């Protein structure tokens, strides 16, 4: 009896496995690579860090959408990236038709705020509609079924984007202020933290806090967590499961809307395949952090953003931007092989 109790309290016995050794070695190699680059070119390193961090913040908003939906339905919402893409296209249209490029300060900020709300509502509506049309009927079906409709939906949305804006990338007028917030001089080179980058953070951080408050403090958030744990039990406790799931898709969609606005204004170009590419990056980020785990999704997204920007820009033995997709997928595959529960996730009986 006592032995059993003590055994339960002990942490899982440490068993070095070849997989863990290989994994640690890979992480070590990445750290060495980063360190050498940092010593060689600190200024460039810092510049790329800022870019990667900003991109990571945008990825985080999309990754949260995947994580929220996965947490509640255990479904990879393939169409999520394309919802984001359509939001970006809407922003591009609004920027052009409202003539924001030449607007004064007050008009500009009001315009951005209006666009934020419109993009959020737009993406949230699409996402909720998708759930209603394509996933709700299949809730009791084999897992394969909603996944396939998700892919179908993703294709439909991509096609809408293609027809809407054409096969060439749509450029968005650059309307964000261009000044610097502060400048750091490293080994003779000065690197600026621009307003464009800062605004991304300025929008992302409150959004994340709001989301955490929503999920952890409100009644609706409680309902979401209950539904995620056990739909039947939640229904018995008087939670309207269908409405809660719709609400989750609504929130995920609004996050995609925020990300769409930031992405369109920050990178100033949107393409109909953007959603697919960025969706995969964000999904990888969600898996990296531990899918279903909200802080994990953001952490994973920032890591992926950093890896991407370091890979695109660093000088010393770097594969370069041609290989970014491959590297991100290699990370995804390795995470799933070495640590399927992700960085912050918990090991589940299903093994991830």
Partner 1 sequence: MRRPDFSFDRDAFIRDSRPRVKKGLIAGAVGFLVIALLAGATFTLVLALLLGWLVYIPAWNRVPYGRVAVLTVALLAAVLYPYYQPDMFEIPVFGEFPTVDTAVTMMIFVMMALGLNIVVGYAGLLDLGYVAFYAMGAYTAAWFASPQFGESVKFHLGSVGVNPNAQGFHISIWLILILAAIFTAIIGVIIGLPTLRLRGDYLAIVTLGFGEIMPQIARNGDNLFNTGFNLTNGPQGINPIDPPGFGATLGNIGLPESYLTPGSDAFPFLSDSLRLYYWTALVLVLFTVFCSVRLRDSRLGRAWIAIREDETAAAAMGVPLMRTKTWAYAAGAFFGGIAGAYYASFKSGTFPDDFFFNISVFILCMVILGGMGNIWGVILGGSFLAYLNQEGLGNIGGWLNDHFSGQRGAEWVQLWSTDIDVPLYQYGIFGVILVIVMLFKPEGLIPSARRKAEFEEGVADQPLYDVSH
- The answer to whether residue 25 forms part of the interface with partner 1 (CB under 8 A) is no
- The answer to whether residue 18 forms part of the interface with partner 1 (CB under 8 A) is no
Question: How far is the C-alpha of 59 from the C-alpha of 168, rounded, in Å?
Answer: 23
**Nearest Cα to Cα of residue 269 among 347, 168, 186:** 168
For residue 24, give Cα distances in angstroms to 17, 59, 164, 288, 348.
Answer: 11, 26, 47, 15, 22
Q: Are 311 and 45 in contact (CB under 8 A)?
A: no
193/283 with CB nearer partner 1 = 283
221/290 with CB nearer partner 1 = 290
220/246 with CB nearer partner 1 = 246
Q: Are 214 and 174 in contact (CB under 8 A)?
A: no
Q: For partner 1, which residue of 160, 184, 212, 235 counts as binding (CB under 8 A)? A: 160
Residue listed under structure tokens 């996402």: 127
Question: Residue 75 CB, nearest distance to partner 1 (Å)?
Answer: 8
- The answer to whether residue 347 forms part of the interface with partner 1 (CB under 8 A) is no
- Cα angle: 127, vertex 132, 134; to 5 degrees: 90
Q: For partner 1, which residue of 4, 105, 232, 322 counts as binding (CB under 8 A)? A: 322
128/194 with CB nearer partner 1 = 128
Q: For partner 1, which residue of 30, 110, 159, 347 counts as binding (CB under 8 A)? A: 159
- The answer to whether residue 241 forms part of the interface with partner 1 (CB under 8 A) is no
Question: How far is the C-alpha of 68 from the C-alpha of 283, rounded, in Å?
Answer: 11
Kind and range of the H or E run holding 210: helix 195-217
Binding site for partner 1 (CB under 8 A): 74-76, 133-134, 137-138, 140-149, 151-156, 158-160, 162-163, 276, 280, 283, 287, 322-323, 325-326, 329-330, 332-333, 336-337, 340, 350-352
């Amino acid at each position: 009896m006592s032995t059993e109790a003590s055994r339960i309290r002990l942490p899982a016995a440490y068993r070095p496995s070849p997989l863990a050794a290989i994994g640690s070695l890979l992480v070590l190699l990445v750290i060495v690579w980063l360190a050498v680059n940092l010593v060689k070119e600190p200024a460039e390193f810092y510049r790329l860090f800022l870019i990667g961090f900003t991109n990571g913040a945008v990825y985080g908003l999309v990754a949260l959408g995947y994580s929220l939906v996965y947490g509640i339905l255990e479904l990879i919402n393939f169409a999520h990236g394309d919802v984001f893409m359509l939001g970006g296209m809407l922003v591009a249209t609004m920027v052009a038709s409202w003539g924001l490029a030449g607007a004064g300060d007050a008009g500009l900020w009001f315009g951005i705020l209006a666009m934020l709300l419109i993009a959020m509502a737009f993406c949230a509506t699409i996402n909720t509609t998708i759930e209603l049309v394509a996933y709700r009927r299949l809730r009791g079906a084999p897992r394969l079924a909603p996944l396939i409709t998700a892919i179908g939906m993703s294709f439909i949305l991509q096609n809408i984007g293609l027809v809407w804006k054409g096969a060439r990338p749509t450029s968005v007028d650059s309307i964000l202020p261009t000044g610097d917030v502060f400048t750091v001089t490293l080994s003779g080179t000065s690197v600026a933290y621009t307003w464009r980058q800062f605004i991304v953070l300025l929008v992302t951080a409150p959004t994340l806090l709001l989301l955490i408050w929503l999920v952890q403090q409100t009644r609706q958030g409680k309902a979401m967590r209950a539904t995620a744990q056990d739909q039947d039990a939640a229904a018995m406790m008087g939670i309207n499961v269908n409405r809660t799931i719709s609400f989750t898709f609504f929130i995920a969609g609004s996050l995609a809307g925020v990300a769409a606005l930031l992405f369109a204004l920050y990178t100033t170009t949107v393409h109909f395949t953007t959603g697919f590419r960025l969706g995969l990056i964000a999904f990888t980020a969600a898996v990296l952090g531990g899918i279903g785990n909200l802080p994990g999704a953001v952490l994973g997204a920032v890591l992926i953003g950093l890896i991407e920007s370091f890979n695109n820009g660093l000088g010393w033995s770097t594969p370069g931007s041609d290989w970014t997709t491959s590297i991100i997928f290699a990370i995804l595959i390795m995470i799933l092989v070495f640590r399927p529960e992700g960085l912050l996730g918990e090991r589940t009986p299903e093994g991830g």
